[in-house]
Structure 1
Amino acid sequence: MLIVGKAHKYIHSKIEIRQDQMKGFQHPQYVITINDITLNDYLNQNTQSRSFDLLVPPIGLFDNRDQQKVLALLSFTNVALPILVCSDDMDFSCTVVTTYVEEAKDYIIWKTFGYGVDMSKPIHVPPLAFEKSQYREFVEAFKGFIHRDSL
């Protein structure tokens, strides 16, 4: 279903985060799913690349300040939120995929995507819209995984 707002069309989407087996990894990883496909596959399909395969959500980052930044940003809108990082480095020094999170009347929108915490290099994929209640569930689950992983 498309949602139209201020001259933009958004894909009405379902979002979840969980642990699951991912190709390229020996052990289960945290994975964000959009409409029942991984965020990695969503990005790969829309960019016709495989460059997002070994990226994971920023949970268990090596730098506690970076982890606290992600934890804080999850609670806000109108911010650039890091959503995937390089699984080898687990910090913001290598590959970071970020989305600009915007709040609309009934939806939370991942409006634009880019590389780096500053989104300096755009990733051209369609924006996504999530029902506010479902997005809040996603955020709480994401925060729970961060807290659990930091113990």
Structure 2
Amino acid sequence: MQLTSFTDYGLRMLMRMASAPDRAYSTAELAEEFKLSRNHLTKIMQRLAQGGIVETRRGVSGGARLRRDPGEIRLGDVVRLLEQGQALVECFRPDGNNCTIEGCCRLKVRLRHAEASFIEDLNQSTLADIALPERVAA
């Protein structure tokens, strides 16, 4: 099993933001810290904003900040949001009708259960549990 880079980078950004939850972060700042594309991080930030995890503001005093306390943000919910539209296997996709054993497959239900268990297990932890140490200005 492998999470998409979209989710990986989204979790990294949130880990940084959880280190100082009252502070606004720019995508440029986060892109520089993690050596990632600013354009890619902007798309991730948009998804996080649409999902109610962060709020964003444009302008000089703008940036993104967490919408809730990091202790209230469950990791499984974040992964589910960021992995939205990414099927674990081909037959889970809405257009996944290429399986020749559809109708008698006993693996599909087990994979659905495993996927749900994965999210459930992640939801035992919050963003506060994985926050990075706060950065000290040099």
Same fold (TM over 0.5): no
Q: Which has the higher strand share?
A: 1
Q: Which has the higher helix share?
A: 2
TM-score (norm. length: structure 1): 0.26
Larger Rg: 2
